[in-house]
A = this chain, B = another copy of it.
Amino acid sequence: MLEELKEKVLKANLDLVKNGLVILTWGNVSAIDREKGLVVIKPSGVSYASMKAEDMVVVDMEGNVVEGALRPSSDMPTHLVLYKRFPQIGGVVHTHSTYATAWAQACLPIPNIGTTHADTFHQAIPCTDEIPAEKLENSYEAYTGEKIADAFSNMNPLHTPAALACHHGPFTWGKTADEAVYNAVVLEEVAKMAYISKMLNPKLEMNPDLIEKHYNRKHGANAYYGQIKK
């Protein structure tokens, strides 16, 4: 069942390790089959070194395991909410990558102060508010997803495909699992650069027109970065 998607999700999970975004078992990637309404996700707490495609867990949109011998990632309900609230996305990534997590721990959005950021993320990376105590008991992971999605009420989630969960860490997404991993790689690098920049000059801001320019030269109607897609 969904063998091809399982292979893609496995590869995407291993790419997190290759790119230095994940140590131990910290991190998970999922992908959705929109037609079937099923999500393939990494199992919880399993070593990357021994993980196989058949270990990937298939869940339905209510989080019931449809196939797989292992428990799904404990962050699975966050992934599901993001798929429900962002119908245009096909893959979700969660990591504890060092600098992005440090911004999340500081409960601060990552400001858009450079073209490295603006090339991939149209706006600042939003950070959710602290989750109130009464929401922690039964629906914590789903609530995290809701608060992330709420932060995009006036933003296009594919134009700024990342968010920070306060005191927790980063989530990224994309049209595919691979794109979500790419965005996680960029997020960690811009989180590091923004940290250093903020230490050098705490009063940073960037001309909004330059943000538009860079975002659009890569993603706009007249984009001229990269090769023409055939």
* Interface positions of A (Cβ within 8 A of B): 23-26, 43-46, 70-71, 74, 96, 98-99, 101-108, 113-116, 130-131, 133, 136-137, 140, 167-169, 182, 185-186, 189, 192-201, 204, 206-207, 209-210, 212-213, 217, 224-228
A116 touches B136 (CB 8 A): no
**CB closest residue in chain B, given A225:** B74
Closest B residue to A217 using CB positions: B74
Q: Would you mind naming 18 contact pairs between A and B with Cβ atoms under 8 Å apart?
A: A24-B186, A25-B226, A26-B116, A43-B227, A45-B226, A70-B227, A102-B196, A102-B200, A105-B116, A105-B204, A105-B206, A114-B168, A114-B169, A136-B212, A140-B217, A167-B206, A167-B207, A167-B210
B198 touches A46 (CB 8 A): no
Name 8 extra pairs, CB < 8 A, besides A115-B168, A136-B209: A45-B225, A46-B227, A74-B217, A98-B192, A98-B196, A106-B197, A113-B167, A140-B217
CA distance A134 to B107 in the complex (A): 35
Shortest A229–chain B CB gap in Å is 10
- In the bound complex, how far is the Cα of B23 from the Cα of A182, in angstroms? 11
In the bound complex, residues from chain B placing their C-beta under 8 Å from that of A137 are 213
Given contacts A130-B210, A167-B207, A196-B195, contact A189 B23 (CB under 8 A): yes
Query: Shortest Cβ distance from A159 into chain B, in angstroms?
Result: 18
Residue of B nearest to A201 (CB): B106
- CB of A71 within 8 A of CB of B207, answer no
Q: Which residues of B contact A169 (CB under 8 A)?
A: 114-116
Of the candidates A24, A26, A74, A196, the one having the most CB atoms from chain B within 10 angstroms of its own CB is: A196
The smallest C-beta distance from A52 to any residue of chain B, in angstroms, reads 14
Residue of B nearest to A226 (CB): B45
On whether the beta carbons of A195 and B189 are closer than 8 Å, the reply is no
Query: Which residues from chain B contact A114 at a C-beta distance below 8 Å?
Result: 101, 104-105, 167-169
Q: How far is the CB of A211 from chain B (nearest CB, A)?
A: 9
Q: Are A23 and B101 interface neighbours, CB within 8 A?
A: no
Residue from the list B103, B193, B225, B226 in contact with A102, Cβ < 8 A: B193
Q: Which 4 A-B pairs have the closest CB atoms?
A: A45-B226, A102-B196, A106-B201, A105-B197
